[in-house]
Structure 1
Amino acid sequence: MSAQVDYAQAGELKFGQVGIANLRVRTLDVAQLVAEMRERVQRAPNLFARAAVVLDFGGLLQAPGVDEAHALVTGLREAGVLPVALAYGTKEIDALSQQLGLPLLAKFRAQYERSDTTPAPAPASAPAPTPPPPVTAVAPGLIQTAPVRSGQQVYAEQRDLTVLATVGAGAEVLADGSIHIYGALRGRALAGAQGNESARIFCREFHAELVAVAGQYKVLEDIPAALHGKPVQVWLEHGQLKLAALD
């Protein structure tokens, strides 16, 4: 008799939404970038210390050289954060990621590929009848009834998120739309995760470690103490993140 083979997997691999910081480099000044991140870590060590960061060089006119990029990665690690990947962009970024030994983050890969694709012009012909506008299906909002506990993450893709309980410290809630929290917010809330600047955050009791709308964020240390524990709304106004007490 042959021995029975156990094909049970030792590890289960899943792909899903990952809440991760994206450092978009606008000026390739390694010393300034490192100093800025070190200051962020010092102001909010519980949030940023050893935080995973994706480096996004899409804001530069050209990709950095491998020596500059390596110096930046080393400096950021010394500042207290952990660069774990590059955001997908160009062939040069692809080559740079291989030289640095860092992966390209798939979430950004699809986003860049869509924006880089330019449709070919259609040949001239007689104008076709105008088709009726497509009917857009609106996904219902996601409702989370149970508390979101430390280490958990809830993501509402292409819709709003409503949490009927508490978002605990160390927990994270994300939505491409707005976020409504009917309990205490003690963890992180990120609305407009795909860039929707009209998204908002509403919570009944504000103690958030971090709130963000369309990538613009504030940590608890940056928020007036008068708002702590109060009903609060968060929104963007002219690119600036605003917070105010709800009446």
Structure 2
Amino acid sequence: MNARMDTQDACDLRFGQVGIANVRIRRVDAAALCDELERRVRTAPQLFSRAAVVLDLSHLLELPDDGTVDALLEAVRSAGMLPVGLAYGTSEMEALALRMGLPLIAKFRAAYEPADGGSIAPPAPPAEPVRRAEAVRSEPAPPAAAPLGAQSIDGAVRSGQQVYARDRDLVINGVVANGAEVIADGSIHIYGSLRGRAMAGAQGDEKARIYISDFRAELVAIAGHYRVFEQIPKDLEGQSVRCWLEGEKLLIAKL
């Protein structure tokens, strides 16, 4: 008798939203990087210890050589974090990622391009040629897309869950538990207790805000600027608060 063949798939492969931190390198100094990341891990070990991170080299004017990048990756590991990829950049960055055996993570490209247009930033598209006025035919402008309404969640966001509102605000009518994440490209309104993490302006919108009825957060962040529980004044705990950015500083105040 022939043995029964097992036709069940060996695995499922799916894509979803995951919480990955970005380590943007401002200067090439592996020892200083390790020291800085170790300090962050000590400040909030539950958040940063063994956290998955992407190494972002786009702020540097010149791409480091392979040995230097390997030293930076080892500094991240030594600090207690786990580098899982490189932030998307140029074709040279793609070749570097291939040599390092790491994937490129395109999610972080737009928010961290060098402000001075350095060599790592993608080149600007070529300008359209100037045409004589009589050769241009006026075409009606396409209608503007209607803005998306806020995504609303009624009920608790449980530990281990993540909610992401793409291209819109997020409204939570309930508790965000410890270990849960709520993320929005726009602002976040939580009519309940925030005990987990809230990240607004996920695609770099520095005008985004976070409003919370009962503030007990593990972390709040706007456009990549964050504050963790240990950095939050005790007199704000349990209060109704708002969070916003002034420059690169994330501020929190009672409502």
Verify same fold: TM over 0.5: yes
Shift of 1:107: 2.6
Please point out which of 170, 178, 183 is paired with 1:174: 183
Q: What's the CA shift for 1:119?
A: 4.5
Give the Cα separation in 1 of the matches to 2:7 and 2:243: 50
How far off its partner does 1:120 sit?
5.1
Q: CA deviation at 1:241?
A: 0.6
1:9 to partner: Cα distance: 2.8
Report the AA paired with residue 122 of structure 1: P
Letter of the 1:70 counterpart: D
Superposition RMSD in Å = 2.4
User: CA offset at residue 59 of structure 1?
Assistant: 0.6
Q: Alignment partner for residue 187 of structure 1, among 181, 187, 196?
A: 196
Name which of structure 1's ranges 96-105 and 179-188 shifts more when overlaid on structure 2: 96-105
**Percent identical residues:** 53
**1:62 shift after superposition:** 1.5
Q: CA deviation at 1:14?
A: 1.6
Does 2:207 match 1:198?
yes
The answer (yes or no) to whether the contact 2:111–2:204 under 8 Å persists in 1 is no
Paired AA for residue 173 in structure 1: V
Structure 1 stretches lacking a partner, 5+ long:
none
Which runs of structure 2 are paired with 1:23-34 in the superposition (5 Å)?
23-34=23-34
Which residue identity lines up with residue 175 of structure 1 in the other structure?
Answer: A
Q: 1:135 is matched with which residue?
A: 144
Instruction: Give the aligned partner of residue 121 of structure 1.
Output: 128
One-letter amino acid of the counterpart of residue 46, structure 2: N
d(CA) in 1 for partners of 2:173, 2:126: 44
The separation in 2 between residues aligned to 1:7 and 1:145, in whole angstroms, is 41
Deviations along 1:144-173, one digit per CA (max 9) or x if unpaired, are: 112111111000000000011111111101
Distance of 2:161 and 2:14 partners within structure 1: 15
Output the CA distance in 2 between the equivalents of 1:170 and 1:104: 27
**Aligned positions of 1:1-12 closer than 5 A:** 7-12=7-12
Aligned residues: 246
Instruction: Please state how far the C-alpha of 1:4 moved relative to its aligned partner.
Output: 7.3
In 2, the alpha carbon distance for the partners of 1:139 and 1:171 equals 24
For residues 110 and 231 of structure 1, do their structure 2 counterparts lie closer, same or farther at Cα, with a shift above 3 Å needed? closer
Structure-2 residue corresponding to 1:56: 56
Task: List per-residue Cα deviations over 1:89-148 (Å, max 9, x = no partner).
Answer: 112211211222111114346989x96461452362423326346322211111111211
1:34-57: per-residue Cα shift (whole Å, max 9, x none)? Answer: 111100000111110000000010
Hey, what does 1:238 align to over in structure 2?
Answer: 247
Q: Return 69-78 or 157-166, whichever deviates more.
A: 69-78
